[in-house]
Structure 1
Amino acid sequence: MYKMLIADDEPIEIEGIKKIIEKNFEDITIVKEAKNGREVIEYFQGNSPDIAFLDIKMPGIDGISALKEIRKMNRKTKIVILSAYDDFQYAKESISLDAYEYLLKPVRRKKIIEVLENIIKNIKSERKEANKKVRLQEEIINIKSIVEEKLISFILEGGSEKIKEICTNENIFKINIDTAHLIGIRTDEKNREFVESKIKKSFKSKVNSIMSTYNDNIYILIEEEEADEYWIKKSLEKIERELKNNINEELIYWYEKNNYFEDIKKNVIKIIGKLNTINTNMDFNDENRLRICKEVLNFDLNYYNEFEKMLGYIMKKTNSRDLNFYEEINEIVSFLQYGAFMEKNEIYFKNSKEMIKNKRSKSSIKNAILVDLDTYVKLCRSNDLIENVKDYIVKNYDSKIKLEDLSYKFAISTFYLSKLFKQETGQNFIEFLTHIRIEKAKKMLKEGIQVKDVYRRVGYSDPNYFSRMFKKITGISPSKYVSKN
C-alpha cells in the first residue's frame, strides 16, 4: 500500500485527482487533503506519506515554501508539484528541492497515471533495496556473532586467510589483525560472567575489538591503532581490582603483540599454554624475582600482573613485625633501582626506599612501589608516546584530528599530552599539524594539483582558512606559490 497527500486550494482539483486514483490505483490510499502549505507542513511533522501532490499557488504558505520545509524533515516522499504557471524559475527551484516531477495544469489524466505508475515502480525498487540491506545487515550480524564467538577455534583450525578477510571487512569488524593486541584471560564458572561483563565495559565499548571464547577462557583481539600496551595494562588492572573486591579472585591473563599475520596462530597457542601453566601459588625464588623486575622495567605487560603477585606473596609469607619483609622488599626495590639506573642513568624508586627505611606498613610500601613503578613507566614512555603521536599525525594529517581524540587514543589526559608534546617537540599540537599539512600541500601544488583540490586533500574544509595558514607558513599565497614553482 502507498499513502498519499494531496494539497490544493481548489476542491475541484483534489476531487479530480482522487477520482483518477480511485479508478486506476487500488493500492494508493489518500491519507490527507490539505488546502494550504501550513496544513501540509503540520501533517509532515508527524507523518511520512509515500507520495504528495502539491499545488504551487496556495494561500499563505505556497507549494514551494512547503516543499522547502518538508525536505528539512523528509527526503523520501515522492513530491509532485502542480502549477498553472509555465515559469522556468518555479520548475528549476522545484527540481533543486528534489521534487519528483513538475506538472503544468490542466494535467491530463494519462499523464497523472503515468507519473504515479513511475513513482510506484520507484518506491517498489527502493523498498526492495532497503529490504535487501536489512537482510544483508542481519546476515552480517549473524556472521559477526559466529566469528567473534569462535575466532580462536577458527584460527587454530586453519583457514587464516578467510578469517583475515572477515576481520578486515569494513562491514563486519574492520580490524587489522596483522598487528593486533591479543589477550587471553583465564576464567571459571565462578568468575566468567563477571569478567565478561567487565571486558565488555573496559574494552568492547571503548575500542575496536573482538571478544572470543575457547576452552572456557576469554580472548580479546584489539586493533593496534585503538590502544597501546599502557592503556591495556591500566584497563586490566582495573578489572583485576574489581574482581578482587567482588569475588576475591586474582585475574590470570597473558598478553602477546601480533606483529605479522602469520604469527597469530603461534601467539594464540602460546597464550593457551601460558593460561594452562600459570601457577597462582608459585614460589618466587631469587631468579624469578630478578626476571620479573627486569621485565616490568621493559614494560612487558604480562609481568605487571606477576609483579603485583610477587609483592603480595612477600607480604603474605612474612608477618607485620618480621624484619625479613623489609629485607626482601628492599632487595626487590634495589633490583628495580639498578635496572632503571642502567637503562636511564638516573635514580628512581626513591620514595619506596625511604618508606622501607622508615619501616612503614606493608600496604603503604606496596602502594609506594607501584606508584614509583608507574611514574618510571610514564616518564620512560613519554618519548615513545610523543613519537607515536607524531607518527599518527603524519599518517592521518588529511583527517579531522583533534587533541581530545589523540588523548583518548593514547590513554593520556588532554592537558598532559599538550604539555608533553610542547616539551618534546617545541611546538604545540596545532602548529605541528599545520606544518605537516602545509608541507604536504606544497608537494601537491608542485605536482600540478589545483588549489581547490589540495586544501581538502590535506585536511581543511575551508579554502580561505587553508590560504591563510599557507601564507602564514610560507609567506605567500598558494596561487603565488604555484606560479613561482
Structure 2
Amino acid sequence: MKPVILYYPTLQKDFNFYEWVGNLSNKVKLMKVTSFQDVKSVMKMGDYTVYILLTNSQSFPANWQFTQLQADTTLMILAGFNKMNMVLLNSFLDSLDTYVEPSPDNSSFYRSLDYLDDNLCDNELSLEKVASHAYVSKCHYSRIFQQYVGKGFKEYVINKRIQKAKVLLKKGETVTDVCFSIGYNDLTHFGRMFKKIVGINPSQYRNQYSACQEAKTS
C-alpha cells in the first residue's frame, strides 16, 4: 500500500510539530495542504492508496466535509499533536510495512536513550514506555534499537543497571539500597543478574573493592 500524509499546520508556529513532521519525510511522502480543496485535488489524482490527514490543531476546520472524499481509499484522520496520535500513526505505518529506518542522527531516538538512562531506577521501565518517547511503536523501536545500539533493549537495560550498581557499590552503599535504586525490587534477581555479568555477587564485589582501597592507603 502506498501512503501519503497530508498535513495541515495551524498559523501558530509549533516547532515540535514541525520537527516531527520533518522526521516523517524520511519515511513516507509528505504534502502540506492549506485548504480542503487541496485535499480533494490530491485524492482525485489517485496516486496513493492510503491518505492520512494530520493537523496540530485540536480539530480540522468546520467546513471540511470529509464525507465528500473518495470512499474507495483508506483514510486516516488525526487531529491534535500528542504522543497518543504519534504512536498511533507510527504503528499504522508499521502495519503497512512502509517505513524507511530512521537515520542514526534521529534526534527523537537519541532523546529516548537519554530518557532510558535517566530512568533506570524505574522498576516499571519498559520497551513500550521508552518507545513512546521516540514516537514509534514498540515493535519498530525494538528493531531500530538493535540496529543502532548493537544489542537488544532488555540486554542494554540490564547492562546499564549493573554498571550503575558497580558505581554505587564502590561508594559503599549497601546491596539492598543499590538493588532498589537501580530499578530492581527483588534482591535475589538482582544478585543473579549481577553475578552473571560481573562474575561475583554484589557483596563480594563491594568487599573486594573496599579491601583493595584499604590496601592502597595502608
Q: Give yes or no for TM over 0.5.
A: yes
| 2:135 is aligned with 1:426 | no
What residue identity is the alignment partner of 1:256? D
Decide which of 32, 47, 61 is 1:364's aligned counterpart. Answer: 47
* Unaligned segments of structure 2, at least 5 residues: 54-92, 210-218
Matches within 5 A, 1:127-142: none
Partner Cα distance (1:298, 1:402) in 2: 24
Decide which of 10, 16, 33 is 1:308's aligned counterpart. Answer: 33
Retained in 1: the 8 A contact 2:195–2:201? yes
Partner Cα distance (2:171, 2:47) in 1: 63
Matches within 5 A, 1:19-168: none
Which of 1 and 2 has higher RCO (CA within 8 Å, sep 6+)? 2
Query: 1:384 corresponds to which residue?
Result: 107
Decide which of 168, 172, 181 is 1:457's aligned counterpart. Answer: 181
Which structure would you say has the larger Rg?
1
Deviation at 1:466, TM superposition (A): 0.5
Higher helix share: 1
Query: 1:467 and 1:296, CA in 2 relative to 1: closer, same or farther beyond 3 A?
Result: closer
Query: 1:407 corresponds to which residue?
Result: 131
Query: 1:315 and 1:473, CA in 2 relative to 1: closer, same or farther beyond 3 A?
Result: same
Root mean square deviation of aligned Cα: 4.2
Aligned residue pairs total 156
What residue identity is the alignment partner of 2:128? E
| 2:141 is aligned with 1:417 | yes
Deviation at 1:297, TM superposition (A): 4.5
Partner Cα distance (2:14, 2:37) in 1: 25
Retained in 2: the 8 A contact 1:418–1:429? yes
* Unaligned segments of structure 1, at least 5 residues: 1-233, 241-249, 259-291, 317-328, 330-359
What residue identity is the alignment partner of 1:391? D
Query: 1:445 corresponds to which residue?
Result: 169
Percent identity, please. 28
Offset from partner CA, 1:65-99 (integer Å, 9 cap, x none): xxxxxxxxxxxxxxxxxxxxxxxxxxxxxxxxxxx
Partner Cα distance (2:36, 2:49) in 1: 7
Partner Cα distance (2:171, 2:202) in 1: 13
